[in-house]
Amino acid sequence: MDDLALERYFDDSIANDSSCPLEEELAHQAAPQQVPSPSPPQLPETSGPGGKVRDVLDFSFLPDELNPQDDRSSKTAAAAESQAAALDVSHDSGIVQDSSAANLQQDVLSLGLGRGASPFCPMTPMTPMTPMTPVTEKSGIIPQLHEEQSRLAARKYARVVQKLGFPARFLDFKVQNMVASCDVCFPIRLEGLVLTHQQFSSYEPELFPGLIYRMVKPRIVLLIFVSGKVVLTGAKERAEIYEAFENIYPILKGFRKQ
């Protein structure tokens, strides 16, 4: 896995073209200002996901000053980002689905907010950010993108803090938690599941409508619902999520409602 090439690809895609209308705005502002593509030397990645990054970062594609032209993009970006932040269960990264930046754009525009404000924190100017809500797999984006996006978002946050005047450095980025949601597409008999897997399951309809399954082997907590939707959380690696789902799927098939 060539992380360096990945970073390069990612930054290029942001700077030049992109499918997301949000990023078009970014590219728009980036083009007239400086060199659009930040070159690799700024983003040294040694190897592996926990590699250290030098603190000299080039965010030239980030507009330094907020001018009236930024309004629309900053509002929408801020809205998308805060929406994503609100949806995010995790600390440093999250795989969040079902939140389209496009919908938010309409909402935010219709609110008619002032310059730089977002609907979630009025009067707070926010620089446009990469949306933390990813596009689906169907669009052909290569995997591992969500982790990369979260890294980029964290770097942008560090940049913002840096610009505020604090001596900020971006060190030791580590993904602490990953959340995934999926659908097995059949209804599930939770009562049966709690009877047979008593030591792992906790199902209290008075407290929470879903069954809380604490898997031991990859230490993952799964929230299993009657509709067949499953939420997996507590993973440090993507592979753990996949493994947990591979483990739970045959069990759930056994408790399918006929």
Partner 1 sequence: QASFSSGEGLTLPRVTCPNHPDAILVEDYRAGDMICPECGLVVGTGSWYRIDSNVKGTHPSTFLLQGTGAASFDEFGNSKYQNRRTMSSSDRAMLHAFKEISNMADRINLPRNIVDRTNNLFKQVYEQKSLKGRANDAIASACLYIACRQEGVPRTFKEICAVSRISKKEIGRCFKLILKALETSVDLITTGDFMSRFCSNLGLPKQVQMAATFIARKAVELDLVPGRSPISVAAAAIYMASQASAEKKTQKEIGDIAGVADVTIRQSYRLIYPRAAELFPPDFKFDTPVDKLPQL
> What is the contact surface with partner 1 in residues (CB under 8 A)?
187, 191, 194-195, 198, 202-207, 209, 225-227, 257
C-alpha to C-alpha distance for 248 and 227, rounded to whole angstroms: 15
- Cβ of residue 223: shortest distance to partner 1, in angstroms? 13
- Cβ of residue 222: shortest distance to partner 1, in angstroms? 16
Residues 218, 244: contact at Cβ < 8 Å?
A: yes
- Cβ of residue 251: shortest distance to partner 1, in angstroms? 18
Whichever of 158 and 215 has its CB closer to partner 1, that residue is 215
- Cβ of residue 95: shortest distance to partner 1, in angstroms? 25
Residues 150, 92: contact at Cβ < 8 Å?
A: yes
DSSP string for residues in 145-190: HHHHHHHHHHHHHHHHHHHTT------------EEEEEE-SS-B-H
- Cβ of residue 250: shortest distance to partner 1, in angstroms? 22
Whichever of 116 and 187 has its CB closer to partner 1, that residue is 187
C-alpha to C-alpha distance for 131 and 128, rounded to whole angstroms: 9
Q: How many Cβ atoms from other residues are within 10 Å of residue 3's Cβ?
A: 18
Whichever of 49 and 187 has its CB closer to partner 1, that residue is 187
Nearest to 48 by CA among 15, 92, 2: 2
- Cβ of residue 213: shortest distance to partner 1, in angstroms? 14
Residue 64 tokens, joined: 């330094």
DSSP string for residues in 62-107: S-SS--TTHHHHHHHHHHHHHHHHHH--SSS-----S--HHHHHHH
- Cβ of residue 195: shortest distance to partner 1, in angstroms? 8
Whichever of 50 and 209 has its CB closer to partner 1, that residue is 209
Q: Which DSSP letter does residue 28 get? A: H
Whichever of 225 and 242 has its CB closer to partner 1, that residue is 225
C-alpha to C-alpha distance for 135 and 200, rounded to whole angstroms: 34
